[in-house]
C-alpha cells in the first residue's frame, strides 16, 4: 500500500484504534487504556495511517531493554494485503532504533496466520501460557532475540 505511513499514536486516533481493537480482538482494551498509551513514556504505540484512516497498529512496553508487545492488529478490510508485514517491519525498525535486545509477544496457538507471520520475521516459540485466552485457548510465547 503506497500511501501507508507509520507514526506514533496520538489522541486524535485513539478512537479508531479502539474500533479496530473491538472488532478484531476477543478481549479488547478500553478506549481509556488505549488513550493512556499516548502519554506513557515506557510505551511505543504506533499506527499505520492511509488517507487519514488508521488501518493497523501495535504497541509494546519497553521493559528492561526488551519490547513486550501488548496488541497489534490490522483492520479487517485490509487483512491479507501485506499490511501485517509492514507492521512487523516497522515494529522491528523501532525496536532497533531504541536499541532493544529482544521483542516478545503472546499469540493464540490457534492463530496460524499470525504465527506464520511472526516466524517469517524470526520469532521463535519459547513457551506456552495455558488457557491464556478466555480461560480456554493457550498462548504461545514467542521471542525475537536478534534485533
Averaged in consecutive runs of 10 residues, what is the pLDDT profile of the chain (147 residues)? 92 97 87 97 97 97 96 94 97 98 96 96 97 90 95
Give how far Cα 108 sits from Cα of 10, 30, 122, Å. Answer: 28, 20, 18
Return the residue matching grid coordinates 499490511: 83
One CATH from 3.10.20.80, 3.40.630.30, 1.10.3720.10, 1.10.10.60 for 5-104: 3.40.630.30
Give the pLDDT confidence score for residue 32 in this predicted structure. 97
C-alpha cell at 141: 510465547
Give the pLDDT confidence score for residue 25 in this predicted structure. 81
Query: What are the extents of the domains in the chain?
Result: 5-104
C-alpha cell at 125: 516459540
Give the pLDDT confidence score for residue 13 in this predicted structure. 98
For residue 98, the tally of other CB atoms under 10 A from its CB is 13
In whole angstroms, what is the distance from residue 86 CA to residue 121 CA? 11
C-alpha cell at 82: 501485506
Give the pairing of strands 66-74 and 43-50: unpaired
Contact of 59 with 46, CB cutoff 8 Å: yes
Give the pLDDT confidence of 56-81 residue by residue, as tens digits.
999 999 999 999 999 999 999 999 99
Mean pLDDT of the chain: 95
CA end-to-end distance (rounded Å), the chain: 25
The percent of residues in the chain predicted with pLDDT above 90, rounded, is 90
Amino acid at each position: 500500500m503506497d500511501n501507508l505511513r507509520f507514526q506514533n499514536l496520538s489522541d486524535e486516533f485513539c478512537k479508531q484504534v479502539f474500533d479496530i481493537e473491538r472488532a478484531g480482538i476477543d478481549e479488547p482494551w478500553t478506549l481509556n487504556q488505549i488513550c493512556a498509551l499516548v502519554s506513557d513514556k515506557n510505551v511505543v504505540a504506533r499506527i499505520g495511517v492511509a488517507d487519514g484512516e488508521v488501518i493497523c497498529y501495535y504497541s509494546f512496553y519497553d521493559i528492561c531493554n526488551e519490547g513486550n508487545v501488548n496488541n497489534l492488529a490490522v483492520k479487517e478490510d485490509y487483512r491479507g494485503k501485506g499490511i501485517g508485514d509492514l507492521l512487523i517491519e516497522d515494529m522491528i525498525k523501532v525496536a532497533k532504533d531504541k536499541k532493544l535486545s529482544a521483542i516478545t509477544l503472546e499469540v493464540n496457538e490457534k492463530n496460524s496466520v499470525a504465527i506464520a507471520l511472526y516466524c517469517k520475521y524470526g520469532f521463535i516459540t519459547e513457551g506456552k501460557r495455558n488457557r491464556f485466552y478466555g480461560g480456554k485457548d493457550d498462548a504461545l510465547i514467542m521471542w525475537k532475540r536478534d534485533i
